[in-house]
Amino acid sequence: MKSVKRIVLLAILSVVCMSSYGQPLQFNPNNPAHTDTSTIMVLNIKTDFGALGNNVTNDQDAFEAASEFINARKGYCQLIIPAGTYRVGKQTPGLFYYLTGRDVLKIMNCTNVSITGNGSPVIQYADNLRYGYFDPITGSPTNPIDHWIDAYTWATPGNCIYIYNSNGGDGRIRISGLTLDGNMYGGKVVIGGSLVPINIQIEHFGIFLHGAGKVTIENVTTRRFGLDGIIIRNNPDNPAHRDVVVNNCLSEYNGRLGISVIGGRDVTLNNSSFNNSGMGIIASAPCAGIDIEAEKEYITQSLWRIYDFKANNCEFGNNKNAGVVIVAGAVVTPADTLFGNNFVFSNCDIYAAPTSSFAIDLGQYRKITFDHCNITGAVFDAGNRAYKPEDGVKFLSCYFRDIYYKKTGSSCYKTRQHYTELSSVIFSTRDNALSSYMQFDNCVFDLAYKRLWNIYSTPQAPASVTNCVIKASTTGGYIDFTQIGFDSNAVLQNNKFVFYDFQEYRHQQGNTIYASPNIPGNNQFTFYNIVTNPAPAVRDTIYGKVERIDGVDSCLFTGNRTTGTEDAVKQAPSLIVYPNPSSDHSFTIKNTSEGSLEYTFLDFNGRRISYGTLRRSEQKQFHFPELAAGVYFIRTRDEKTTRTIKVVLQ
C-alpha cells in the first residue's frame, strides 16, 4: 500500500510541476521571437521544456524537446540547465539495432549555441539500460566472439550531447558547467556480450563533435560512458570544422577513452585530466587517456587526418592500457600516407597504470613534441614517418621515470609500473620499426627498476640523445641486470650516465658496437659509490605494485626515495649469508645492521620463494631440498638501502 501511495504522489507532483511550467516550448515560425536570430535566445530546460531534475523522473523528452526547438531555430540560443540531477536515456527496439538509444541533446546544423549548467547540474543515464551485444530472440547476452556481428544484436544507450555540422559563427558552440554521467556502474546497467579482444565498440559518448567548429567545452566532467567521454570527428579540410578548445575538464572511468580525436584541425586541451579509462566495469580497446587516430569518413571513405593538436598542463594517467595513444589504427593506406602532424604536449603528466607498461604509444605521424612533460612508464614507437629532422618525435626537457608517487588525502602511494616481457624498458622501438630522427634533449631519466631503452635508427636518419642526465637502477631500485640500454646509430652527445660498476651501456655505429665508457660523443659515465655484489643475471621483468608510504608530506616526484644517487656512501653489508655456496641446500642469514631488516628470497626468474623480517642481530636458517641447484638471490631492505645478494644452492 505504501508503494502505491508513493507512485500516486509522484504522479501528482509530476502533473503539478508540468502545469506550473506549462507545455514544452515548441518552435513557431510565425513568432518573431522564435525566428529573430539577431540576438541570443535564452532557454531553460525546466521552465521552457518541463524537465524536473529530481533524480527520479526521466527527463529525456524534455531534452529532446529542447533539441528540436534549437535545431528549428538554427541555433543562436543559450540553454540553461539549473541545479539538479536529470535522469535521461530511453531505448527503442529495432531501428537497425536490437535496442536503439536516443541522443539526449542532439544539436544539428546550428550556429552559436551554448549549453550552460548553473549550480553544478548532473545529467545521468537511467538505471537498467542495456549496452553490448544481445540475442534479439532471447534477449540474453551473446557469447564473446572474435568477429563483428550484425547490428540487430546491438544495444546502445545513445549519446549524451551530439553536435553535428554546427559552428560558432561570430560566437562559439559552448558546453560548460555540467557533469555527464553514463551510469556504467555495477548493478546499474545490463551488460551484453563482447567482441574478442576489443570488448564492446558500440556508441555511448559523453560529448560527440561530428563536423563542429569554434567549439569550447569548459568545466565539464564526463564519466562512466561505455566508449569515450569526448570524441572529435571533424574534417580537417573544412574551415567550418576547425578550432575546438577543451578547458578545465575531467574525463574519467569511461570504457574506452577519456577523449579521442579521429579527425580534425586545431584542437587544444588546457588544464584537463583524462584518467582511469577501462578501470570501471567496461574496458574496451584501446583503454587510454587520449587516442589520436585518423579514420575514414563514413560515406566518402576519405581519410580525415589530424593536424595542429595541443595539450597544455593536462594529465593522462592510470588508464588501463596507455596514457597517450597516437596510432594509425586499422586504416589501410599506402605505406607513405601522412596521417597527420604537428602535435604538442606541454607540461603534461603522463603515467601508466599498474596494469600496463604503456605511458605513450606512438604511430605513424610527424612532428610530435613532448615539452617539459613528466612521463612514467614505457614509451613505444611503432616507427614514425619522419623523412627530415624537423619531422621527428621530440622529447624536450622531459622527466622519465618508472615509479609514480601520488598523494591521496593524507596518505602517499608509490606505484611501481607493471612491465610485461614484451618490453622491459622505459623506452622501446617495437615491431622492428625505426625511430627516425627521434630526439631527446635536456631530459632526465630516473629509473629504479627498468632498463633505459632500445632505440633503432639508421646513419641516414639517426635518433639523438643530447644533454641528458641518465640514472639507471637508482639506489634502492632493482639492479638485477647488467646492460642498461642499447641504441643503433643514435647520436649521443654531452650526456651524463650514472649506474653500477658491473653495468654497461652499448651503442652500435654501423657494424661496430661500443660499450661504455668508450662511446663517442663527450659523454660522462659515473658509477654509484656503493658496495655491490657480483653482477646477477636474472630477468628484469617485475610486476606492478602499489605501496603506501606513511609520514610523507609530498610525494609527487621520485626525490622521496630514502637514499640519493651520487651522494650515496659506502656501507658495510647489512646481511651475512653463510655458507655460500650452500651446503646440502641449507644456509643461514644474519642481520648485522643497526635496525630491523626486510628480506626476500627469489629464484633465478625473480619469483618470490620466501620473505620476512629480521630484528637486529637476528639470524635464520633455511633448508630448501625441493629447489633445484643453481643461482638464487636475496634482496634486503632497511631504512636506508636496498641490496641484492647472490646465493648458490648446491
Q: Which residues contact 544 (CB under 8 A, 6 or more apart)?
A: 353, 354, 355, 415, 416, 417, 418
CB atoms within 10 A of CB 467: 13
Least confident of 45-54, 99-108, 407-416, 417-426: 417-426
- What is the C-alpha to C-alpha distance for residues 279 and 252, in angstroms, rounded to an integer? 9
Beta strands in 5-137 (DSSP E): 41-44, 54-58, 75-81, 85-88, 91-94, 97-101, 105-108, 111-117, 122-125, 129-133
Q: How far is CA 552 from the centre of its chain?
A: 26
| Statement: 575-649 belongs to CATH 2.60.40.3080 | yes
> If pLDDT is split at 50, 70 and 90, which confidence band does 19 have?
very low
Which sequence spans correspond to the domains of the chain? 38-407, 432-547, 575-649
- Residue 456 corresponds to which cell in the numbers above? 633503432
Residue 346, strand partner residues: 312, 371
Lowest mean pLDDT segment, chosen from 162-171, 446-455, 559-568, 625-634: 559-568
Residue 184's nearest CA partner among 128, 232, 144 is: 128
What pairs with residue 362 in β-bridges? 326, 381
> Per-residue confidence at 346, pLDDT binned at 50, 70, 90?
very high
pLDDT in tens, 88-119: 999 999 888 999 999 999 999 999 999 999 99
- What's the pTM? 0.80
Instruction: State the virtual CA torsion across 362, 364, 370, 375 in degrees, nearest 10.
Output: 10
3-class DSSP state for residue 164? strand
Confidence of residue 306 (pLDDT cuts 50, 70, 90): very high
Q: What is the mean pLDDT of the chain?
A: 83
Nearest alpha carbon to residue 397 among 440, 348, 446, 435: 440
Task: Please provide the size of the chain in residues.
Answer: 650
On whether the 38-407 domain is CATH 2.40.50, my answer is no
pLDDT, position 533? 43
Chain segment 261-302, per-residue pLDDT in tens: 999 999 999 999 999 999 999 999 999 999 999 888 777 778
